[in-house]
Structure 1
Amino acid sequence: MTSQRRSALTLAGLVGIVLAMVGLVIGSVPLYKAFCQATGIGGPPRQVAADSASATGKMVTVRFDASVAKGLQWRFTPQAREMKVRLGEDSLAVFTATNLSDRPITGNAVYNATPDKIGRYVSKIQCFCFTEQTLEPGQSVDMAVSFVIDPAMAADPLSNEVSTITLSYTFFNAKTAQDERGRS
């Protein structure tokens, strides 16, 4: 084999490797989201329709954590830090957000459930985190999240000992997030 042919094969192999790496990078986010939705591991809770018929007698404590990203001039707090919830029963938590700036700001929230193994059992029925929220200067709004803890959690040997779940919400400035996406 000639030196020129070997160089061409090496170059073709390297180009193939680079293309495979680019494909993995492009596909990694949708693949990760699909994995998290399927397993509930390390990802956000899923959205479902309400169904109270499957409520059980087991209770868990749900704690609420609220924060804002650096630079977002909002105050964001849960109205109740925790509540007792019956598995399978529709529950409602309310948060208050206040725009502390002198201009309108649009934010959107991301959420997660911990411990990670419990995410698959937390189902959002309705949540402020599904859409962007715009607050005028000085405006305060109450925002609700309706959720259900799946009774199947009690039958899962890997999660049935969990007695406390934390639902965390963080608001980000939607414009900053869009600017960041536009640069990448």
Structure 2
Amino acid sequence: MKIEQIHHVAYRCKDAKETVQWYNKMLNMDFVLAIAEDHVPSTHEPDPYMHIFMDAGNGNVLAFFELPTKPEMDRDRNTPIWVQHIAFKVKDRATLIEFKDHLEANGVEVLGVTDHSIFHSIYFFDPNGHRVELACPDPEEEALLQKLDAVKWEMLEEWSKTKKAPKHADWLHAKELQKT
């Protein structure tokens, strides 16, 4: 028994049409499906919704629910804003920079490029307040991932006991820390 892949990831949105248009314009995702009903199929409760699906490439689907009868969206105030996000992979650094320029030209505030050693990322927010990351692989990604793979269990065990960041992979963000 094994999971094959993520079928879709769903978030709440403020406005389904605005969300479709934003993801299409800003990230070039195609709008693939909409479902709207007055009752929730799994719980049978009466609650009208619009459920939209966007093509995130390679069979990955990003979905949203607009829920007009529910209180306004909010987020978990006990979780820092940088924690909950969705990350999409792009081909290479040139594509990452192209997206950064496109987003900024369309008024989206972009953080980065951040060098994570194994990959490079930019961060921004969609119109619903969801944090989005675009990431491209580093040319040395494969060798660096092997290095991380060799210490993952030791790191997890140390973290589990101490709740302090193990130093096994502190080289990951050394370049970023030197910039500050």
**Higher normalized strand content (fraction of residues):** 1
TM class by shorter-chain length? Answer: under 0.3
Structure index of larger Rg: 1
- The structure richer in helix per residue is 1
What TM-score comes out, normalization by structure 1 length?
A: 0.22
TM-score, with length taken from structure 2: 0.23
